[in-house]
């Protein structure tokens, strides 16, 4: 069976060039080409892909990371490869925590792009070599102390778990039957206890230090 791929990329020339490369491979079918995440979600039920090449910096109200979080929540079997010029730690960790299967940087050679798609569709984790090294370095830097204890309350752990699962503040409030103001107050306490300054940093720490019990 061919692998179906959707491309979510706002740069028209790059989107068309990527589609051209993918169509050169008989084992790949381009399911759709989209300039924004909103356009992609409008069409997904009609053309559901196996793999999505997702840019990070997209126009409209939804970034590539936010789109990945939503996509993996609704369609967990779809594999997402982040396809971006950004190589910074924050974008990388946000993408991984959102559920991306891989992260490749532009520009990329045609053969490497085809291999990344095939690897993701087979359950692999395609990454540009320097990105893979960065991931290893970041996780090594965050190896937990055996006695690490941040004194998180049970409610704070529940809220942190919701963030790890990709829920935003309002979704977390609805899930735990709390007000949005209460959730924000708890999250401020979580940030202070974990010594972090953003949701992505909190989620990264929760994952790397295994603060949330495995289910």
Which pair of structure tokens corresponds to residue 120? 């993701």
Decide if domain 154-208 falls under CATH 1.10.10.10.
Answer: yes
What are residue 52's phi and psi, to 5 degrees?
A: -120, 130
* This prediction's pTM: 0.64
Lowest mean pLDDT among 18-22, 32-36, 50-54, 88-92: 88-92
Residue 148's pLDDT band, with cuts at 50, 70 and 90, is: low
Digit-coded pLDDT (tens) for 44-64: 999 999 999 999 989 888 999
Contact status, residue 202 vs residue 163, Cβ threshold 8 Å: yes
Beta carbons within 10 angstroms of residue 133's beta carbon: 11
d(CA 24, CA 61): 33
The domain limits of the chain are 3-140, 154-208
CA–CA gap between residue 120 and residue 81 (Å, rounded): 7
* pLDDT higher than threshold 70 for residue 180: yes
Instruction: Please list the alpha-helical segments (H only) found in the chain.
Output: 12-23, 37-43, 64-74, 89-98, 110-121, 129-141, 154-164, 169-176, 180-194, 199-208
Band of pLDDT at residue 154, cut at 50, 70 and 90: very high
For 211, counting Cβ atoms within 10 Å of its Cβ (0-12 exposed, 13-18 middle, 19+ buried), the class is buried
pLDDT tens digits, one per residue of 77-112: 899 999 888 877 778 878 888 888 888 888 889 999
Q: Which of 2-6, 57-61, 92-96, 119-123 has the highest mean pLDDT?
A: 2-6
The answer to whether domain 3-140 has CATH 3.40.50.2300 is: yes
> Pick from 206, 175, 200, 15: which is nearest to 100 by CA?
200
């Amino acid at each position: 069976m061919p692998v179906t791929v959707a491309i979510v990329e706002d740069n028209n020339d790059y989107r068309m060039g990527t589609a051209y490369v993918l169509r050169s491979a008989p084992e790949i079918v381009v399911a759709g080409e989209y300039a924004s995440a909103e356009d992609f979600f409008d069409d997904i039920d009609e053309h559901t892909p196996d793999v999505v090449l997702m840019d990070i910096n997209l126009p409209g109200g939804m970034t590539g990371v936010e789109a990945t979080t939503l996509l993996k929540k609704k369609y967990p079997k779809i594999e997402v490869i982040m396809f971006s010029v950004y190589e910074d730690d924050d974008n990388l960790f946000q993408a991984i925590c959102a559920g991306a299967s891989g992260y490749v940087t532009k520009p990329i050679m045609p053969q490497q792009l085809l291999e990344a798609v095939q690897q993701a569709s087979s359950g692999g984790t395609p990454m540009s070599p320097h990105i893979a090294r960065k991931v290893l370095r970041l996780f090594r830097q965050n190896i937990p102390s055996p006695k690490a204890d941040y004194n998180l309350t049970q409610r704070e752990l529940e809220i942190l778990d919701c963030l790890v699962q990709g829920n935003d503040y309002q979704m977390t409030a609805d899930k735990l039957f709390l007000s949005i103001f209460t959730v924000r107050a708890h999250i401020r306490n979580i940030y202070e206890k974990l010594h972090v300054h953003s949701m992505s940093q909190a989620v990264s720490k929760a994952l790397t230090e295994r603060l949330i019990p495995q289910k």
